[in-house]
Structure 1
Amino acid sequence: MFTRRRVFLGMLVAVSAMTGLFQSPAFAEDSKEQAALSMVKKIGDEAIATLSNESLSDSQKQDQFEKFLDSSFDMQRIGRFVLGQYWRSATEAEQNEFLVVFRDYMVASYAEKIGSYTGENLDIKDATSLNDKESLVHSVIVRPNGPPIKLDWRVRRTNDGEKIVDVIIEGISMAQTHRSEFSSVISQPGVGIEGLINKLKEQIKTASNK
């Protein structure tokens, strides 16, 4: 389950994980695109510094990643999107439980990749406007032992500042991939939203036992 997603999550961790304490504030005086660009550059710089800090244990890096996820990503918006049409048919209790479990599932997925940093750097290119609230920040992961990887960040301006709502690696959207995979699980006979939540809990438990 979720094999393809795990491949590009492994690439993403090299540049974006474990930066929770260093979120860029909102840049009200800047343009939407410049604010998004500034945010991604700051968290990228801090990610490299944190990942290369040998004095931090994997557990400490994971703690920082959890803070990064909570502060830098709009997890509620992402959660609603990945559940797709099933969000509207879910009960309020199912919606709330899914958001909690989805967040924990993301943390567990990344936790498996802690320690995988091998000298990658993030080269920020530019930002383009997608609509009146969102921008796409274009960047490249520069790897010492492999070809560069195109990495785009979808950033939304909110009342709480700039928030990441999607990450696109080599043209593959993390949010769209989750949405497709979750839909295929929910639509199976006898599974539904409750079944998806239970499957995610199983994945979390498996990851935590490794």
Structure 2
Amino acid sequence: MKMFLKLVMSVTFATAMFVNASLVQAEVSADELVKRTAEDVLNTLKSDKDIQAGNQQKIYALAEEKILPNFDFERVCRMVLGKNWRTATPEQQAAFQKEFRTLLLRTYATALGKYKNQVIEYKPLRAEAGAKNVSVKTQILQPGGQPISVDYSLVKLDNGWKVYDIVIESVSLVTNYRSQFSSEIRDNGLDSLNKKLADKNKASGV
């Protein structure tokens, strides 16, 4: 799990490319949305001296504005919890969504703060006409390092494309968190998991 989180932190800045409310239109393809917003986000990372200096408030604000609005969080949470989502109460579901969202915010904010001139390479989108579920495949080209494959799974909703999974070097974010959380739920219950997530989020100052 630590290796997976390390990969996430090294490339998650790319996830920020899925935002810009004015661009989230139903007629815009998933890959076009990614490409169109990339320049704006990367320019922000390159030019904002406060972010480069490690200003946590601006880093969290950037992650909150540019990344999280583009996730289908209910879908992500349903997939992460699996059968435990179906047996959870509405209150437990809401608590998990809140704390898991904050967990991702912390992870992505850390990644944004570590941006070091990586370059994004896009693969041709392979999807049938009218497809409502696609995978946008990219590579992160790192100075002096091996390319890292990052694939984004998106679903088309009424308000545009939303991300529901990220696959880094063939490792799924959803699958990893499901594996990590399932043992805690099995041993101590969902309330225990929610409390542990809340404690960690609170300790981080988010």
**How far is the alpha carbon of 1:165 from its aligned partner?**
1.0
Letter in 2 for 1:119: N
Contact 1:137 1:154 in 2 (8 A): yes
Question: What secondary structure is seen at the aligned counterpart in 2 of 1:127?
Answer: coil
CA distance in 2, matches of 1:196, 1:23: 36
TM superposition shift of 1:108:
1.8
Alignment pair present for 1:54 and 2:31 = no
Q: Which residue of 2 aligns with 1:202?
A: 199
**Pair 54,12 (structure 1): closer, same or farther in 2 beyond 3 Å:** same
Paired letter, 1:195: S
Could you tell me how far 1:22 is from its partner in structure 2?
A: 6.1
Rounded Cα–Cα distance in structure 1 between residues aligned with 2:47 and 2:20: 15
**CA deviation string 1:12-70 (max 9, x = no partner):** 32323487546632242x6xxxx011112123323311211233433223202112233
Alpha-carbon spacing, 1:163–1:24, altered in 2? closer, same or farther (3 Å): same
Change in Cα spacing, 1:198 to 1:4, as seen in structure 2 (3 Å) is farther
- Supply the AA of the counterpart residue of 1:160: N
- Cα distance change of structure 1 residues 80 and 5 upon mapping to structure 2, 3 Å threshold: same
User: Is 1:121 matched with 2:116?
Assistant: no
**In percent, how many aligned pairs have the same letter?**
26
* 5+ long unaligned stretches in structure 1: none
Q: Which moved more, 1:104-113 or 1:140-149?
A: 104-113
State yes or no: 1:136 paired with 2:135. yes
Deviations, residues 95-142 of structure 1 (Å, cap 9, x unaligned):
111111111111122233342111101111122238942001111101
Structure having the higher helix fraction is 2
- Find the aligned partners of 1:39 and 1:74 in 2 and give their Cα distance: 16
Matched positions, count: 201
Sort the Cα spacing of 1:145 and 1:47 in 2 relative to 1 into closer, same or farther, 3 A.
farther
| 1:36 match | 30
The corresponding residue for 1:165 is: 164
For the aligned residue pairs, the C-alpha RMSD in angstroms reads 2.3
Greater Cα offset, 162-171 or 7-16: 7-16
Q: 1:76 aligns with which of 63, 74, 77?
A: 74
TM-score normalised by the chain length of structure 2: 0.87
